[in-house]
Amino acid sequence: MGLPNILMGAATAMKAGASIQQGQMAMQSARYNAKVIGRQAEQEAEASLESMARKRTENERALSSIKLRMQESGLDTTQGSSADYFDEATSRLELQILDEARQSSFRDKARRNEAQMQIYQGKVARANAQATAMGQLIGGAAKISGKMKDINDATPGFSKTKTF
């Protein structure tokens, strides 16, 4: 077979191995990135819950202050237009909190989708690397086979019926 062909085969195998390793590294990187994104999503969700709790407390204080001022002004806060105003203010403030919760949910879903996309891209990179490695192995084998054929054709008295 000859030293050049052995070296060509070894080089081909090394290239293929490097391609497979590159694919594995891409997959590991994608999994790591997905975990980081997942942790960030959890932290953002916790921060959002804390923010909503703080806003509810602030809203209760503000509403208490409004109610107190209305009562100090002599308005009855249990009925009539002043009660309607108070109920409307309460509803508006709660809607702001619910809107923040909805936005937080959208951000959380987007982060989780981003994490899943990272994993998918890692799988694609790994599959591409494996296909590249297979192509390198097949290409290397074809080159070696072609060189062997050339050597056999150039060798006088070599039987064309021998196979390897």
Q: What is the pLDDT of residues 3-31, one digit of tens each?
A: 777 887 888 888 888 888 888 899 999 99
Nearest partner of 125 among 7, 21, 20, 23, judged by Cα: 23
Q: What is the structure's pLDDT at 117?
A: 92
Q: What is the structure's pLDDT at 1?
A: 56
Nearest partner of 44 among 96, 116, 100, 93, judged by Cα: 100
Q: What is the structure's pLDDT at 51?
A: 92
Whether the CB-CB separation of 100 and 52 falls below 8 Å is answered with yes
Q: What is the structure's pLDDT at 159?
A: 57
Regions of the chain where pLDDT drops below 50? none
Q: What is the structure's pLDDT at 158?
A: 57
Alpha helices in the chain (DSSP H): 3-72, 80-154
Q: What is the structure's pLDDT at 162?
A: 53
| Contacts of 48-57 spanning 24+ positions with Cβ under 8 A | 48/100, 48/101, 48/104, 48/107, 51/100, 52/97, 52/100, 52/101, 55/93, 55/96, 55/97, 55/100, 56/97
Question: 52-68: buried (b, 16+ CB within 10 Å) or exposed (e) per residue?
Answer: beebeeebeeeeeebbe
